[in-house]
Amino acid sequence: MATDTIRLTTAEAIVRYLIAQRIVVDGDEVPLFPGVLAIFGHGNVTSLGHSLEMHRDEIPVWRGQNEQGMGLAAAGFAKAMRRQQVMVCTSSIGPGATNMVTAAGVAMSNRLPVLFISGDTFSSRLPDPVLQQVEHFGTPSITVNDAFLPVVRFWDRITHPAQVLSSLPQAVSTLLDPADCGPAFIGLPQDIAAEAYDFPVAFFTTEVREIARPRPDRGQVARAVELLRSSKRPVIIAGGGVHYSRAEAELAAFAEEFGIPVVETVAGKSSLLATHPRYSGPMGVTGAEAANTVATEADVVLAVGTRLEDFTTGSWTVFDPKAHIIGVNAARFDAIKHRSLPVVGDAREALADLREQLLGWSADPSWTARGSQMRRELQAFVDGRTTDDGVWPPSYAQLVGLVHDAATADDYVLTAAGGLPGELNINWMSKGIATFDCEYGFSCMGYEISGAWGAAFARRAGQVYSMVGDGSYLMLNSDIYASVLSGKKMILVVCDNEGYAVIERLQVGQGGASYNNMLKDSAGSGSDVRVDFRAHAAAMGAITFEVGSLAEFRDALLEAKSADRTAVIVTKVRASDWTEGGAFWQVGIPEVSDRSQVQAARASMDAGLRAQRRGV
């Protein structure tokens, strides 16, 4: 063997390479891959698991309870770290792998880096069919791991040890690419994982990685500046890309200097403090009327780091049809949406370049004042929604208000599906920068608990609060136990409205009859049986509370903050007291129905669609 090579198994080479990758975060050099979330099975325990155990002091392994939960935790970690570090998730073959597909979808839709490494069937095929193998009669090279192809940015199956030399650098580059960032997948057949190869020693040299900051084209910047200078009523939309480029300070200074109101997407929330003079609130379907008013009245929209999802754009009805959009985005795909004038580049660098050429210009003072007026109206609206009205059970908004009162600028709040995204997006007035996570790209039920576990790995100060509905809790809750096992504390608020109430709201609101959403309507003889959420969470080791008043809820929050491990607060909540959003949303309503309510809903939908901006 040559002196510049070392003979290792494929699995060992993968582990050593991951350990060698470093990155600088807040001035400190840290591991790019700070840990592995793992559930071992026969497809990954004997080779990859063995190598991970041998390096347990260099790359810790955290035991998962459910593969989907592990992936969601990794996505939650990536969001909380603003994409600067990456968790690895590994599973066995078969159901262990396919359980992670949903989590990969969450990471893909939210542009978050997660490295998935799954066991695979034998490359030789000699022992086929093996345990947990799904045979594809016409295409024997297909395995269940091909299911990851639509939900990852990078996909590879290692069929020879030497392929690691090219595959892993490509995977890591994808994970750190500001434009193409998303999950990466490596399929590792059991025989290849165990096979040895003479790897170059240099492959395992420590490498300190950087996230690129591509500068935008000068011509694109010049055209954007010309458009902004001609505007009377510009508005800035702050998307998730503001967080990922760590451009929050530049955004705040830019908006202040030029007097431009700022509205936020769900992913971009907490880009500005709610007290910032240019803050006008969250926009879109789950946003506030005040912010949507600003967006609607704008003649130029500076969309920074947003993919312009339908919940942001009100299915493309929020903006004035004559308004011009400037798309500032690292991804060309997002920058050109709906005929936007593109500024393709890093958000922080793009704002700096725009600022340099805009010096001496500012928005009309009356328009700046209009944005401030909307911020005041939003605060008054939130104050009204979160006030105790003396009625039990409380509204979502009242609970959000109490959690907000208890939280500090260092604390982090998280939610995902159901009615809570709208309630938190409107009623949570951010006290700290990058302290809010609402997974609404994939709107994945169950993210609330697993994602909070992942966020707890990332946060170095403060509490992690997660608000979850009873439906999401029942869908995926085992990471309460994972958080207790790992010592990664969260405070979980379980809001029980006895069903999928927000979908019932949509169902009935669009002309349908209530059906199969609320527990009371469930088919079968057990529709009166309810889950004891407090007992269930306690059985997984959490400190638990069940409250019957807002005073008890305040007291429980206080005790939960001082608890030494994950705490779960269970409360009833009103099933039909919602904070109204301020934008239209297109959904599919039957064109033909015998039900008059559906006919009326369809007519209303068609009327709303007439305001829809046409684009590509």
Q: Taking residues 548-557, what's their average pLDDT? A: 98
Indicate the range of 233-247, 477-491, 519-533 predicted with least confidence. Answer: 519-533
Q: Tens of pLDDT along 437-478? A: 999 999 999 999 999 999 999 999 999 999 999 999 999 999
Please state which of the four CATH numbers 3.30.365.10, 3.40.50.300, 3.50.50.100, 3.40.50.970 is assigned to the domain occupying 5-209. Answer: 3.40.50.970
Q: Give the number of C-alpha atoms closer than 13 A to the C-alpha of residue 418, restricted to the C-beta side.
A: 29
Query: Taking the mean position of all CA atoms in its chain, how far away is CA 161?
Result: 34
Q: What kind of fold does domain 218-377 have according to CATH?
A: Rossmann fold (3.40.50)
Are 5-209 and 387-572 in the same CATH fold? yes
Task: Give the model's pLDDT for residue 599.
Answer: 96
d(Cα 148, Cα 146) in Å, to the nearest integer? 5
Cα angle value 75/76/80 (rounded, 5°): 115
* Coil vs helix vs strand at 8: strand
Contact status, residue 505 vs residue 469, Cβ threshold 8 Å: no
DSSP state of 115: E
Compute the Cα dihedral for 521, 522, 527, 531 and give only its sign.
negative
Measured CA distances, 320 to 223, 278, 292, 448 (Å): 21, 21, 11, 35
* Coil vs helix vs strand at 467: strand
d(Cα 555, Cα 81) in Å, to the nearest integer? 31
Q: Tens of pLDDT along 264-298? A: 999 999 999 999 999 999 999 999 999 999 999 99
Per DSSP bridges, beta strands 184-189 and 154-157 are: parallel
Enclosing H/E stretch for 370: helix 365-386
What pLDDT band is residue 2 in, cutting at 50, 70 and 90?
A: low
Checking if the pLDDT of 481 tops 70, the result is: yes
d(Cα 113, Cα 107) in Å, to the nearest integer? 7
pTM for the whole structure:
0.97
| 3-class SS letters over 15-47 | HHHHHHEEEEECCEEEECCCCEEECCCCCCCCC
Q: Write the DSSP string, 301-338.
A: EEEES----HHHHTTTTSS-TT-EEEEEESSHHHHTGG
Task: Give the model's pLDDT for residue 521.
Answer: 87
d(Cα 73, Cα 67) in Å, to the nearest integer? 10
The structural domains of the chain, with segments of one domain joined by +, span: 5-209, 218-377, 387-572
Encoding tokens for residue 406?
Answer: 């208890």
436-438, strands of its sheet edge to edge: 436-438, 412-415, 464-469, 491-496, 567-572, 543-546
Contacts (Cβ under 8 Å, ≥6 apart) of 598: 510, 511, 512, 589, 590
Contact status, residue 507 vs residue 479, Cβ threshold 8 Å: no
Tell me the residue type at 504.
E
DSSP state of 359: T
d(Cα 530, Cα 388) in Å, to the nearest integer? 27
* Cα Rg of the chain, angstroms: 25
Packing angle, helices 420-427 and 365-386, rounded to 10: 130
Task: Give the model's pLDDT for residue 582.
Answer: 80
Q: Taking residues 297-320, what's their average pLDDT? A: 97
Encoding tokens for residue 133?
Answer: 């193998």
Contacts (Cβ under 8 Å, ≥6 apart) of 272: 238, 248, 251, 252, 255, 262, 264, 278, 279, 430, 433
Q: Tens of pLDDT along 311-360? A: 999 999 999 999 999 999 999 999 999 999 999 999 999 999 999 999 99
DSSP state of 613: P
Q: Tens of pLDDT along 378-416? A: 999 999 999 999 999 999 999 999 999 999 999 999 999
Measured CA distances, 466 to 285, 418, 436, 480 (Å): 22, 13, 10, 11
d(Cα 78, Cα 91) in Å, to the nearest integer? 19
What pLDDT band is residue 1 in, cutting at 50, 70 and 90?
A: very low
| 3-class SS letters over 194-247 | HCEEEEEHHHHCCEEECCCCCCCCHHHHHHHHHHHHCCCCEEEEECHHHHHCCC
Compute the Cα dihedral for 449, 453, 459, 461 and give only its sign.
positive
Task: Give the model's pLDDT for residue 615.
Answer: 67
Encoding tokens for residue 278?
Answer: 């240019």
Contact status, residue 380 vs residue 531, Cβ threshold 8 Å: no
For the domain 387-572, what is the CATH superfamily, name and number? Thiamin diphosphate (ThDP)-binding fold, Pyr/PP domains (3.40.50.970)
Q: Tens of pLDDT along 9-48? A: 999 999 999 999 999 999 999 999 999 999 999 999 999 9
Contacts of 605-608 with CB under 8 Å at 24 or more apart are 605/510, 608/317, 608/584
* Coil vs helix vs strand at 83: coil
| Residue the block writes with tokens 């990758």 | 21
Measured CA distances, 340 to 254, 301, 303, 322, 531 (Å): 21, 9, 9, 12, 49
Q: Tens of pLDDT along 125-161? A: 999 999 999 999 999 999 999 999 999 999 999 999 9
Contact status, residue 351 vs residue 250, Cβ threshold 8 Å: yes
Q: Taking residues 526-532, what's their average pLDDT? A: 93
Encoding tokens for residue 388?
Answer: 């105790």
Mean pLDDT computed over every residue of the chain: 97
DSSP state of 156: E
Q: Write the DSSP string, 378-435.
A: HHHHHHHHHS--S-SSPPHHHHHHHHHHH--TT-EEEE-STTHHHHHHHH---SSTT-
